[in-house]
């Protein structure tokens, strides 16, 4: 099964039963949600992920390790750096073979390995396509009378796959159609999610480029983790796990580029303490 729409959700729900053996391929948001739902229904679930950590596009290694621990506490077996070779079975699935030779018995397999932009219509129409439909800062394609926004569009080599950049590009397009000179210069890549009951947030350069430094607050006992990435006296990235109450404030600091040196010592503890210090 794939995990793309409500029909897929219904199929997965029908397959979920106590004692069933389920393998979920893909450790992103949808794969984790599928594994969590199957486990709650009583299935024995193994989550197989190609990368070395879960949700690598949203979480750094420490936050991903906390998420892995939380899933394992819910009875889900998590296999990382595991590549799927083939499905075993004729009339129905019986197992999943990994490239290292391991075979996982399975009655149900869910594939949640990502999506790609649907740019086929644009390509057939002679519009420039790379990974997605290529647009410039005016959200225009190589045809000046054809525009593209949303998950199908690629701007400066990036396909965001998120709703907020689509809204921002729609605003630019609306301005241009109204005769005003608006430009889309890119979006701050931010994700605020609830994954299997756990709140996670990340924004912009949450991993930290070589010329940045990080401030970290971690409590494994409470299952919380907070990291801010600093460059030239400004917040340029953040990742939060477990407690995301300060997420919007950190995102505001990233987008505004405001200097934080006067509140640096209190910054990691949240807005109330930092603003009290600044006052």
CATH number for 11? 3.50.50.60
Backbone angles phi, psi at 231, to 5 degrees: -140, 130
Reported as a single tens digit per residue, the pLDDT across 235-257 is: 999 999 999 999 999 999 999 99
Place of tokens 């070779």: 85
Full residue range of the structural domain in which residue 156 is found: 120-177
pLDDT at 114: 83
Give the tens place of pLDDT for each residue, 163-203: 889 999 999 999 999 999 999 999 888 888 898 889 999 99
- Is the same domain home to 31 and 103? yes
Distance of CA 65 to the CA centre of its chain: 16
**131 and 97 assigned to the same domain:** no
> Quick check: is 219 in a domain?
yes
- For residue 278, pLDDT over 80 is answered with no
Tell me how far apart the alpha carbons of residues 255 and 161 are, in angstroms, rounded to a whole number. 19
* Full-model pTM: 0.87
The token pair at 164 is: 């907020």
| Best-predicted range by mean pLDDT (35-39, 189-193, 272-276) | 35-39
The answer to whether residue 182 is domain-embedded is no
Residue written as token pair 């999610």: 193
Is 183 inside any structural domain?
Answer: no
Q: Give the pLDDT band (50/70/90) at residue 79.
A: very high
**164 lies in some domain:** yes
Query: What's the pLDDT at 5?
Result: 86
pLDDT of 279 over the 80 cut: no
Domain-located, residue 269: yes
Structure tokens at 134: 């290529």
**CATH code for the domain in which residue 251 is found:** 3.30.390.30
């Amino acid at each position: 099964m794939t995990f793309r729409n409500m029909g897929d959700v219904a199929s997965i729900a029908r397959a979920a039963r106590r004692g069933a053996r389920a393998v979920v391929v893909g450790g992103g948001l949808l794969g984790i949600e599928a594994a969590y739902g199957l486990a709650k229904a009583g299935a024995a679930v193994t989550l197989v992920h190609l990368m070395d950590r879960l949700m690598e596009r949203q979480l750094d290694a420490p936050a991903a390790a906390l998420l892995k621990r939380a899933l394992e506490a819910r009875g889900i077996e998590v296999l990382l750096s595991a590549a799927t070779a083939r499905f075993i079975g004729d009339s129905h699935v019986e197992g999943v073979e990994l490239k290292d030779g391991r075979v996982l018995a399975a009655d149900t397999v869910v594939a949640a390995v990502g999506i790609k932009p649907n740019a086929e219509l644009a390509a057939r129409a002679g519009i420039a396509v790379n990974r997605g439909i290529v647009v410039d800062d005016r959200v225009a394609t190589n045809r000046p009378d054809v525009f593209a926004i949303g998950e199908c569009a690629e701007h400066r080599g990036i396909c965001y796959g998120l709703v907020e950049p689509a809204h921002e590009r729609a605003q630019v397009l609306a301005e241009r159609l109204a005769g005003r000179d608006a430009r889309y210069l890119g979006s701050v890549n931010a994700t605020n999610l609830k994954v299997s009951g756990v709140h996670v947030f990340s924004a912009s350069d949450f991993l930290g480029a070589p010329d940045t430094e990080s401030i970290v607050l971690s409590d494994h006992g409470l299952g919380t983790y907070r990291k801010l990435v600093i460059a030239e006296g400004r917040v340029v990235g953040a990742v939060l796990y477990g407690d995301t109450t300060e997420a919007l404030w950190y995102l505001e600091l990233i987008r505004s580029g405001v200097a934080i040196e006067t509140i640096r010592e209190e910054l990691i503890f949240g807005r109330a303490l930092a603003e009290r210090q600044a006052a």
